[in-house]
Amino acid sequence: MASLSTALQLGFIPPPPAAAANSKKNLLLLLDKQLPQQASSTSHQFVDKKSPSSSTAVFSQSGCSIARKQQQQLNGRSLLRTGKCPVLGYSIQLLLPESQKDSIRIKRQLEIHAHAEDASSKGDDTKRHVAMQSLPPGMSTALGSPPVEVEKFPVPDGYSGWNIADLEPFLSITVVGATGDLARNKIFPALFALYYGGSLPKKVAIFGFSRSILSNEEFRELISESLLCRVDLDNEDCGDKTELFLQSVYYEHGNYSGCDGMSKLDERLQQVEGAGEANRIFYLSLPHNVVLEVATCLSADAQSKRGWTRLILEKPFGFDSESSARINQGLLRGLDENQIYRIDHHMGKELIENLTVLRFSNLVFEPLWTRTYIRNVQVIVAEDQGIDGRGRYFDQHGVIRDIVQSHILQTIALFAMEPPVSLDGEDIRNEKVKVLRSMRKVTLDDIVLGQYKSSISNDGKYTVPGYTEEPGVNPNSLTPTFVAGVFYIDNARWDGVPFLIEAGFGLIEHKVEIRIQFHHVPGNLYRGRFGLNGDTAMNELIIAVQPDEGIFLKINNKVPGLGVHLDSSELNLLYRDKYEAESLPDSYERLILDVIDGDNHLFIRGDELDAAWALLTPLLEDIAKHKVVPELYTFGGRGPVGAYYLAAKHNVPLTDQC
């Protein structure tokens, strides 16, 4: 015989009392308003069957159906156990049928007196009787649920209650490689911004994992330096919010080689998650050479057993088609494709996500999105800085693998895709992969490569080192820091339309934009008033992604006055004027929130990756085979002269090139 008395306040579940510290089972309380009043004083009999999945509770009153319903909410785990099970005591959880969620938030306490009697017998006919006393009307009980060693589950900092199945699931977000620059400067600030804005679940824990030996407090101190209250300009609540956020941050150290670290992390996560439904996100911010090994161990030893698991991967996604396929095959041994989120921060920028809205929600643009009206499309990703200490990595990969394979091809696919069946992520990605598979093979004649050289700074006070003088770079390196290229999409919508791309480092300005140039007006009555260069009368739609987000439409307009003089003017939507600049989230914030919500349309699917590498790998092999020497250009200039000739060859006017 064993008895237990505790108080439960509905809507608030305190940690299990000391009396239940050695409990091996849970007492699950099921609330069912359909039970008759006398249910509170009736003995109920529980019968164990051979299979936990088919275990049945035999009540003298109704309630069995509620028990079965709750089995599904516990991810298929039966509420009843099989075989002999001496009852030593119970921890207490409250399980509420979904239909009653809105009716039980009342401010009262229940005094529960449970008396259990162990009945021993043999085989499958084992029976136990539970006498319930002082239960309120509509309350029944069921023995079972998987064993839980309650003493291993301390209440996480910042939380006042226990994780139970009837409330929202617990979410843990683990950053693997947590002490690296990307994690400290981008990922944790993005997580804090989501927390500050109320976008994270209330029941969340943030974990850092790396090889450095740190305590929780030391790790919190490390990341606190980069946590900024972007939304709160007055910083009135910044300090308090920062402190609350850090209370939910934990740290675990371990090696990336072998699976011991992931097993240790799994144990730590279970301690914080408690006993209810728990979902997990793992963000791998790691060197590319250890990603597959860590992901393999993680999928084997650290996936959630009581919820979903999602994995975020940073580029590079391989070096070519073969290496990319090898990584994908390794990931899919332990994970499903819908669990893998290949992140490209460029795709999280406000104007990139706005592409589909601009096109599909505006009648003025959608009919024009075709070769009939569009003359060419230019996608430009220009950086005014050098490679910023990434010499060793960049010299192995180059600008094509670093920018074109992900940023630019993903942008073209999103821009050029056919209307999807719906806004569901899979429907959008289905259309994107069709674009990539329709792209014509690129040859050496379709590209221009460049490399920035040593130059004098704009103020003439110092010398800017050339690419081959950067730390970690081979002095004889032929790795390009600039590429211009022309792609064609061989389908009915885009046949014959050149997509000119430019990507490079050490250019005159930092700029990311998509420029759509339209055909001339047939038989333009005013063509004689534009001078010798008819291209000045060309309509353009410019989507400025960075640094000043905006949408600009170039039109021809009459200059006010008595004469008829024409001028090209811009209708502009400049985001900093229309919207508060602080309201624009960082791309990492948007993409991490998409992972939490399960929205994958801005992430790269495996077949998209295959199609992108199938397009670029032959080109990269030709560059290496022929040892193509990049054209040198001045750091801080507009790039190689060859880019102008390439554009002219494909009849693409560079009206505002880098």
Could you read off the pLDDT of 579-599 as tens digits, one per residue?
876 667 889 999 999 999 999
Please check whether residue 367 is in contact with residue 327, taking contact to mean a CB–CB distance below 8 angstroms. Answer: no
Residue-level pLDDT at 391: 85
Mean pLDDT in residue range 356-372: 93
Please check whether residue 208 is in contact with residue 250, taking contact to mean a CB–CB distance below 8 angstroms. Answer: yes
The 10 Å CB-count burial string (b at 16+, else e) for 296-325 is bbbbebbbbebbbbbbbbbbbbbbbbeebe
The answer to whether residue 497 is domain-embedded is yes
457, pLDDT greater than 80: no
Looking at the chain, the whole-number percentage of residues with pLDDT higher than 70 is: 71
The better pLDDT of the pair 444, 36 is held by 444
The 10 Å CB-count burial string (b at 16+, else e) for 117-126 is eeeeeeeeeb
pTM comes to 0.73
The better pLDDT of the pair 349, 5 is held by 349
- Provide the pLDDT confidence category of residue 91 given band limits of 50, 70 and 90: very low
Residue 200 tokens read as 């994270």
Residue-level pLDDT at 228: 78
Whether residue 131 is found in the same domain as residue 30:
yes
The better pLDDT of the pair 624, 533 is held by 624
Neighbours of 62 (CB within 10 A): 13
The answer to whether residue 321 is domain-embedded is no
Phi, psi of 470 (to 5 degrees): -70, 145
Looking at the chain, the whole-number percentage of residues with pLDDT higher than 90 is: 51
Residue-level pLDDT at 174: 96
144, pLDDT greater than 60: no
- Provide the pLDDT confidence category of residue 387 given band limits of 50, 70 and 90: confident
Select from 262, 289, 314 the last residue of a domain: 314
The answer to whether residue 165 is domain-embedded is no
- C-alpha closest to that of 513 among 550, 484, 554: 550
In the block, which residue shows the tokens 């084997």? 300
Whether residue 179 is found in the same domain as residue 134:
no
Average pLDDT score over the chain: 76
- Provide the pLDDT confidence category of residue 389 given band limits of 50, 70 and 90: confident
In the block, which residue shows the tokens 């824990």? 205
Q: What is the dihedral of CA 529, 533, 539, 545, to 10 degrees?
A: -140
Whether residue 567 is found in the same domain as residue 529:
yes
Least confident of 355-359, 523-527, 574-578: 523-527
The 10 Å CB-count burial string (b at 16+, else e) for 12-31 is ebebbeeebeebebbbbbbb
Phi, psi of 464 (to 5 degrees): -90, 125
119, pLDDT greater than 80: no
The better pLDDT of the pair 163, 28 is held by 163
Residue-level pLDDT at 656: 57
- Partners of 17 in the beta sheet? none
Residue-level pLDDT at 481: 95
Question: Which CATH number fits the domain that encloses residue 560?
Answer: 3.30.360.10
**CA 221 to each of CA 171, 298, 417: distance values in angstroms, whole numbers, following the listed order:** 23, 27, 46
Whether residue 465 is found in the same domain as residue 614:
yes
Reading across the β-sheet that carries 374-382, which strands appear in turn?
Answer: 566-574, 550-558, 540-546, 511-518, 374-382, 499-504, 482-487, 447-453, 631-634
Whether residue 357 is found in the same domain as residue 491:
yes
Q: What is the rounded CA–CA span in Å between residue 289 and residue 318? A: 10
Phi, psi of 261 (to 5 degrees): -65, -40
Whether residue 625 is found in the same domain as residue 518:
yes
Residue-level pLDDT at 275: 77
468, pLDDT greater than 50: yes
Could you tell me which residues come within 8 angstroms of residue 121 by beta carbon, excluding any fewer than 6 positions away?
A: 127
The kind and range of the H/E element at 147 are: none
Whether residue 174 is found in the same domain as residue 224:
yes
The answer to whether residue 655 is domain-embedded is no
**How many domains does the structure of the chain reveal?**
3
Residue 18's domain comprises 4-143
Q: What is the rounded CA–CA span in Å between residue 182 and residue 315? A: 12
The answer to whether residue 412 is domain-embedded is yes
**CA 401 to each of CA 360, 483, 573: distance values in angstroms, whole numbers, following the listed order:** 31, 11, 33
452, pLDDT greater than 50: yes
The answer to whether residue 150 is domain-embedded is no
Annotated catalytic sites, by residue? 407
Whether residue 309 is found in the same domain as residue 364:
no
219, pLDDT greater than 70: yes
Least confident of 1-15, 501-515, 547-561, 637-651: 1-15
The kind and range of the H/E element at 435 are: helix 425-438
Q: What is the rounded CA–CA span in Å between residue 254 and residue 337? A: 27
The better pLDDT of the pair 164, 178 is held by 178
Whether residue 268 is found in the same domain as residue 366:
no
Mean pLDDT in residue range 472-491: 95
Please check whether residue 115 is in contact with residue 131, taking contact to mean a CB–CB distance below 8 angstroms. Answer: yes
89, pLDDT greater than 90: no
Whether residue 139 is found in the same domain as residue 199:
no
The answer to whether residue 322 is domain-embedded is no
Least confident of 6-15, 360-369, 621-630: 6-15
6, pLDDT greater than 60: no
Residue-level pLDDT at 444: 96
The answer to whether residue 119 is domain-embedded is yes
Mean pLDDT in residue range 483-505: 96
Neighbours of 392 (CB within 10 A): 13
Residue-level pLDDT at 162: 43
Whether residue 552 is found in the same domain as residue 623:
yes
Select from 287, 314, 341 the last residue of a domain: 314
Whether residue 212 is found in the same domain as residue 118:
no
Select from 265, 289, 314 the last residue of a domain: 314
- Provide the pLDDT confidence category of residue 568 given band limits of 50, 70 and 90: confident
Residue-level pLDDT at 233: 52
**In this predicted model, what pLDDT tens digit does every residue of 284-319 receive, in sequence order?**
999 888 999 999 999 999 999 999 999 999 988 999
544, pLDDT greater than 70: yes
